[in-house]
Amino acid sequence: MSILEIKNFNLDIKTELGLRHVLRDVSLTLNQSQMHALVGESGCGKTMTAMSVLNLMPKSAVITGGKIFFRGVNLLDFNKKEFENIRGAKIALIPQDSLSSLNPLYTIGNQLLEIIKKHQKLEGKAAIERAVEALETVQIPQARERLNSYPHEFSGGMRQRAIIAMALACNAEILIADEPTTALDVTIQSQIMDLLGQIKKDLGTAILLITHDLALVEGVADYVSVMYSGRVVESCECKEFFKNPLHPYSQALLRSLPNPSKSDLDIIKGQAPNIYENIEGCRFNPRCEEVVSCCYQNVPELKEVCPAHFAACHLL
């Protein structure tokens, strides 16, 4: 059984012009010891999908269909208290801005211990040892001494490791990493991704990675789902995705990656539509280089084009 399964999930946002579609028929599966990368441009619905799993959507959000299963139980049936018991303990968030996510007035140790006491019901020496163990797991040197450090005394990479430690301290089964390497230099980005990969391997943790940076995904993720304008347009194993992308949007994303053999970068013309733009048919049709007449009329369904490789395109 999968740990997390999102099935045909729909989410709207209340605006002054009425309800606007944000997520449409989003489906994905996350298994134990698997890193599933959710990729696409900014504004495509990646973070909103992740926040829906955690029940952290904006107040203006309205769920209009679908289900989100955690170990076979629909999270959308949970009340506020039930969600609070799962959030942070079973499903933990690694946000992109580590500095604003940590309280500058409290030490790293205080913040770790607060989470451990709440979710692990540990006190005193046992709680401290659990906190030290968590910092050691994320490879923070002199872990016991660093419990007394404040967030501003950590580098950006160290703060991100501390946030990951807070998730691991409660034995979270799922980590949702939302752009976890934002604002970090390339070397530290690689270290954080290697750490997540090691956690997945050693602890069996399932990781949902939200990113727009495909260069981070290759060689680290097991599975890739590509989102565009609130829909999943392609989904397959990571190796298959980089070897044989099927959707025109996926192909365009990969062409836009830096390549030493090319002097110029390929770009995708135009920009992703916002929720106020009414586009009939495939939402990618204004930017697609392979568009045909039916692309302006009908929304393509996500279908299995070849074994375990799904795509939503009329040309496939």
Q: Where are the domains of the chain?
A: 4-79+177-187+205-311, 91-171
Cβ-contact 138, 97 below 8 angstroms = no
Sign of torsion, CA 203 81 22 9? positive
Secondary structure of 208-270 in HEC code, one letter for each residue? EEEECCHHHHCCCCCEEEEEECCEEEEEEEHHHHHHCCCCHHHHHHHHCCCCCCCCCCCCCCC
Is-above-0.75 flag for pTM? yes
Cβ-contact 288, 315 below 8 angstroms = no
Per-residue pLDDT tens digits of the chain, which is 316 residues long:
689 999 999 999 999 888 999 999 999 999 999 999 999 998 899 999 999 999 999 999 999 999 999 999 999 999 888 888 888 889 999 887 777 789 999 999 999 999 898 888 888 899 999 999 999 999 999 999 999 999 999 988 899 999 999 888 888 999 999 998 887 888 888 888 899 999 999 999 999 999 988 988 888 899 999 999 999 999 999 999 999 999 999 999 999 888 777 767 788 888 899 888 889 999 999 999 999 999 999 999 999 999 999 999 999 8
Q: Which CATH number fits domain 4-79+177-187+205-311: 3.30.565.10, 3.40.718.10, 3.40.50.300, 3.40.720.10?
A: 3.40.50.300
